[in-house]
């Protein structure tokens, strides 16, 4: 029986833990925040699954705040925390990893594997660990207490790591159970295929007024007005231009929606109106002015998505005015410097590499 360690007991963390238990794995669920685990512990370590059927409630083998216990003996460690915390997870994991383990960033966003590799090296981690990143989350899910509601399960999620010759170890382990995880040609195909940076910061920033007013609305259906959807398509065009300059072909956001959920439309706005998998996912209700600083759709996806794509654009001579505008708007509204604190070229270990060397990663 394969042992899986899930790091992060949020929406997707509970979904992943329940799903892996349903397919017959031994599952350990870890979180650094006690209140994330308490509802599951109080429910006899059991996660209640609604929406898409995963065989009903699933009892998890181990629910713990002890990281060493969680990852001991795990063949596959799956990090399902927001991407801007990956560097902290890697720092804490470094002393507990053993050679042969696989670490999957689910998802990696842009440059996740590069950032984690750099942190593990800085921590002098001696274990020979295969680090992989998923292009996106497998699940569209929302949790409440010990329950998680699955709105959608993607048809496929591409994954990659730095060592192509070793990546097959991951697929041999996971594909018999979760065939949705498929190989990407290179690491840049997953990192530049980061859809979260499109779907999250722009609609969130431009709907802050509605969120602060307490007016309920569906995030993907109501939050993407025709104008907001058109702006997101401009960000998508810039992302595709950066990828093209690097010799990488990645799907557009429209192509991704069709391949992931079978959703089509004349434009992004129309496609999202047809996306039944996103119906019922409500936008956050911000109870205070300070509450916005907990919005991971900005605090995660700006520094780990928009920032590295903008940085790569600058390196490869591609202008990204729409992306830069959203980064600047996020800085102003959140009183932050997401570029300085995000995955800039130095943070990813790319600042001294030539264009050819970056592409060949």
The secondary structure of residue 160, as a DSSP letter, is E
CA atoms of 117 and 86, how far apart (whole Å): 11
User: Percent of the chain scored above 90 by pLDDT?
Assistant: 89
d(CA 111, CA 91): 16
* Contact in structure between 158 and 135 (CB atoms under 8 Å): yes
Query: What's the CA angle centered on 337, arms 333 and 341, to 5 degrees?
Result: 135
Work out the pLDDT band at 89, boundaries 50, 70, 90: very high
Mean per-residue pLDDT, 6-12: 97
Catalytic (active site) residue 172: no
Full strand arrangement of the beta sheet holding 58-59: 58-59, 46-51, 147-153, 139-144
Name the maximum alpha-carbon separation found in the chain: 55
Q: State the Cα–Cα distance between residues 326 and 345, nearest whole angstrom.
A: 19
- Give the sign of the dihedral formed by CA 87, CA 88, CA 92, CA 96: negative
Mean pLDDT of the chain: 95
Assess whether pLDDT exceeds 80 at residue 164: no
- Give the pLDDT confidence score for residue 7 in this predicted structure: 98
Distance CA 17, CA 7 (A): 10
Stretch among 225-239, 286-300, 343-357 having the lowest mean pLDDT: 286-300
301 included as an active-site residue: yes
Q: Cβ atoms within 10 A of the Cβ of 248, count?
A: 18
Residues near 322 by beta carbon (within 8 Å), at least 6 away in sequence: 231, 234, 235, 237, 238
Residue range 69-73: average pLDDT? 98
- DSSP at 153: E
pLDDT (average), residues 113-141: 96
Rounded to whole angstroms, the Cα distance separating 356 from 361 reads 9
Q: Which residues of 276-307 are buried (b: 16+ CB within 10 A; e: fewer)?
A: ebbeebebbebeeeeebeebbbbbbbbbbbbb
Residue 51 backbone dihedrals phi, psi, to 5 degrees: 85, -125
Do 80 and 52 touch, CB atoms closer than 8 A? no
Residue 246 to residue 204: CA distance in whole angstroms: 29
Q: How do the domains of the chain map onto residue ranges?
A: 3-191, 196-360
Q: What is the pLDDT of residues 19-61, one digit of tens each?
A: 999 999 999 999 999 999 999 999 999 999 999 888 889 999 9
Same fold, 3-191 and 196-360: no
One of 84, 106, 193, 200 is an active-site residue; which one? 200
Half-sphere exposure at residue 98, Cβ-oriented, CA atoms within 13 angstroms: 8
Tell me if the bond preceding 107 is cis, omega within 30° of 0.
Answer: yes
Q: Can you name the CATH fold of 3-191? A: Rossmann fold (3.40.50)
Residues 6 or more apart from 209 whose CB is under 8 A from it? Answer: none
CATH number for the domain running over 196-360: 1.10.1040.10
pLDDT at 90: 98
Catalytic residue among 301, 331, 344, 356: 301
Q: Is the pLDDT of residue 289 over 80?
A: no
Which pLDDT belongs to residue 152? 86
């Amino acid at each position: 029986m394969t042992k899986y360690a899930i790091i992060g007991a949020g929406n997707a963390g509970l979904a992943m833990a329940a799903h892996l238990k349903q397919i017959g794995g031994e599952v350990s669920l870890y979180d650094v925040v006690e209140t994330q685990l308490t509802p599951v512990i109080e429910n006899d370590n059991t996660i209640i699954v609604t929406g898409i059927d995963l065989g009903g409630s699933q009892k998890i083998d181990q629910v713990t705040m002890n990281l060493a216990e969680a990852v001991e003996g795990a063949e596959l460690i799956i990090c399902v925390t927001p991407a801007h915390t990956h560097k902290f997870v890697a720092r804490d994991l470094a002393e507990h990893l053993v050679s042969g383990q696989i670490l999957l960033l689910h998802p990696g966003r842009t440059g996740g594997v590069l950032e984690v590799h750099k942190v593990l090296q800085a921590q002098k981690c001696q274990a020979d660990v295969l680090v992989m990143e998923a292009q996106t989350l497998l699940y569209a899910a929302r949790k409440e207490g010990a329950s998680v509601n699955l709105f959608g399960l993607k048809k496929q999620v591409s994954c990659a790591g730095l060592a192509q010759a070793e990546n097959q170890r991951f697929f041999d382990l996971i594909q018999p159970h979760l065939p949705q995880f498929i190989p990407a040609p290179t690491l840049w195909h997953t990192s530049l295929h980061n859809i979260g940076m499109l779907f999250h910061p722009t609609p969130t920033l431009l709907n802050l007024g509605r969120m602060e007013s307490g007016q309920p609305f569906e995030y993907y259906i109501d939050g993407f007005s025709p104008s907001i959807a058109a702006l997101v398509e401009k960000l998508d065009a810039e992302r595709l231009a950066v990828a093209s300059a690097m010799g990488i072909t990645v799907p557009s956001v429209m192509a991704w929606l069709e391949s992931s959920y079978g959703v089509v439309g004349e434009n992004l706005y129309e496609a999202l109106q047809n996306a039944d998998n996103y119906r019922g996912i409500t936008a956050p209700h911000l109870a205070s002015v300070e509450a916005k600083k907990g919005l991971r759709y900005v605090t995660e996806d700006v520094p780990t998505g928009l920032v590295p794509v903008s940085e790569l654009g600058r390196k490869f001579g591609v202008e990204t005015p729409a992306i830069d505008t959203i980064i600047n708007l996020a800085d102003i509204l959140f009183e932050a410097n997401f570029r300085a604190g995000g995955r800039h070229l130095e943070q990813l270990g790319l600042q001294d590499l030539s264009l050819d060397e970056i592409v060949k990663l």
